[in-house]
């Protein structure tokens, strides 16, 4: 008898068919108030789930007594209560490799757009205000040859460093718990404390995962350490930044500007000043939003789910200790 899998995100047809060949599949394009009851009912017999964005915590897990594997179609996994999954012996897998280059492209686009005031001046020109040579007050700042500080030099951070050093001749600083010899050798990256990085960088790029340690990592004190003409780029998670403190810093000139793809609340409320401040480029969380990347993420998430439910090792298992919990609960033959 096939195991039961519940999808809670729309996936390409080839991915859906690959899962149907292996499992009994219940598919939801998304979960909302209209179908939440049916979704929770489906969890009752589910051995695996696959999707993203939905918060998966202890309450939903109570409705899924047979659940063995959760496969997220994302690199980040802060939507999951990892401790609750582990306690129940439920394996969580993610798709970090598929998003690396696409997200690094987007992060660098934010950096360039913020530095050269691309969105602000495109809107200014299209409004009919461009009637003569652009005045100095509308000038931006150079990117080439400047100093980029990357907070969290993981897969995406390293890809950003490569673009900065090899493409734009930038000096690269980074923070990381341990040294990154490859980045130091290939891109001349220099390791710094967070405070030193903030003080030296012309651009500060946040690339850390969300955790209790990184929540509001950048607040009023940290913004005050940055150069007044520095620009903050956040391509990680919104809660890494104290958003009211950032708004105040942008309003009072503590820093020059910000390029943001993530926010404390998503979607960002319509009344947020981050939409109206001229020195902000605000995007709707599109780091991995290309057709090719999203399809690749779904395919890898499906491969992860198939392998994990077959008892095979998955390299991107977030909580391998869940396997030990499951083994401890399995009676000896």
Residues 138 and 34 occupy one common structural domain: no
What gap in Å lies between CA 132 and CA 308, rounded to an integer? 63
Which of 237, 256, 294, 299 is catalytic? The answer is: 237
Burial of 213 by CB count in 10 Å (0-12 exposed, 13-18 middle, 19+ buried)?
A: exposed
Residues 153 and 258 occupy one common structural domain: yes
Burial of 303 by CB count in 10 Å (0-12 exposed, 13-18 middle, 19+ buried)?
A: middle
Residues 114 and 249 occupy one common structural domain: yes
The range of the structural domain enclosing residue 325 comes to 4-94+291-329
**pLDDT recorded at residue 326:** 85
**pLDDT recorded at residue 201:** 99
For the chain (333 residues), the mean pLDDT of every run of 10, in chain order, is 97 98 98 97 98 95 98 95 97 97 98 98 97 96 98 97 98 98 98 98 97 96 98 98 98 98 97 97 98 98 98 97 88 57
Instruction: Write out the two tokens for 177.
Output: 């718990």
Residues 263 and 134 occupy one common structural domain: yes
What gap in Å lies between CA 231 and CA 258, rounded to an integer? 5
Q: What is the pTM of this model?
A: 0.93
Domain count, the chain: 2
Which of 171, 256, 285, 299 is catalytic? The answer is: 285
Residues 151 and 275 occupy one common structural domain: yes
**b/e code 156-181 from CB counts within 10 Å (16+ = b):** bbbbbbbbbbeebebbbbbbbeeebe
Residues 145 and 209 occupy one common structural domain: yes
**pLDDT recorded at residue 332:** 58
Give Cα 140 distance to the centre of its chain: 27
Residues 130 and 23 occupy one common structural domain: no
Residues 236 and 117 occupy one common structural domain: yes
Residues 119 and 193 occupy one common structural domain: yes
Which of 41, 62, 266, 324 is catalytic? The answer is: 266
Residue 218 belongs to domain with CATH number: 3.40.50.720
Establish whether 144 is a catalytic residue.
Answer: no
Residues 295 and 268 occupy one common structural domain: no
Residue of 84, 131, 106 whose CA lies nearest to 322: 84
Residues 74 and 161 occupy one common structural domain: no
Establish whether 266 is a catalytic residue.
Answer: yes
Establish whether 237 is a catalytic residue.
Answer: yes
**pLDDT recorded at residue 331:** 65
Orientation angle between helical segments 291-309 and 96-115, nearest 10 degrees: 150
Residues 277 and 295 occupy one common structural domain: no
């Amino acid at each position: 008898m096939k195991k039961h899998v519940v999808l809670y995100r729309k996936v390409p047809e080839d991915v859906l068919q690959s899962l149907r060949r292996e499992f009994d599949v219940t598919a939801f394009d998304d979960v909302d108030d209209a179908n939440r009851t049916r979704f929770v009912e489906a969890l009752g017999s589910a051995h695996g789930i696959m999707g993203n964005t939905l918060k998966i915590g202890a309450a939903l897990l109570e409705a899924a007594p047979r659940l063995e594997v959760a496969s997220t179609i994302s690199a980040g996994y802060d939507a999951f209560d990892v401790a609750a999954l582990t306690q129940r012996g439920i394996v969580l897998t993610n798709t970090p490799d598929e998003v690396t280059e696409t997200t690094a492209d987007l992060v660098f686009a934010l950096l360039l757009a913020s530095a050269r005031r691309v969105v602000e001046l495109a809107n200014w020109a299209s409004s009919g205000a461009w009637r003569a040579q652009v005045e100095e007050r509308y000038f931006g700042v150079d990117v080439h040859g400047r100093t980029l500080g990357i907070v969290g030099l993981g897969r995406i951070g390293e890809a950003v460093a490569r673009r900065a050093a090899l493409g734009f001749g930038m000096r690269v600083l980074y923070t990381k718990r341990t040294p990154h010899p490859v980045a130091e050798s290939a891109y001349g990256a220099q390791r710094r404390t967070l405070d030193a990085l903030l003080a030296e960088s012309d651009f500060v790029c946040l690339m850390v995962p969300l955790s209790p340690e990184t929540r509001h990592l950048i607040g009023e004190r940290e913004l005050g350490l940055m150069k007044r003409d520095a620009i903050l780029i956040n391509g990680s998670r919104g809660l890494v930044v104290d958003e009211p403190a950032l708004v105040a810093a942008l309003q009072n000139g503590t820093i020059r500007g910000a390029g943001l793809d993530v926010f404390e609340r998503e979607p960002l409320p319509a009344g947020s000043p981050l939409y109206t401040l001229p020195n902000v480029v605000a995007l709707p969380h599109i780091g991995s939003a290309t057709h090719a990347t999203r399809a690749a993420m779904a395919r890898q998430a499906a491969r992860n789910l198939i392998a994990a439910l077959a008892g095979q090792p998955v390299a991107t298992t977030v909580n391998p200790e869940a396997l030990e919990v499951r083994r401890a609960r399995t009676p000896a033959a």
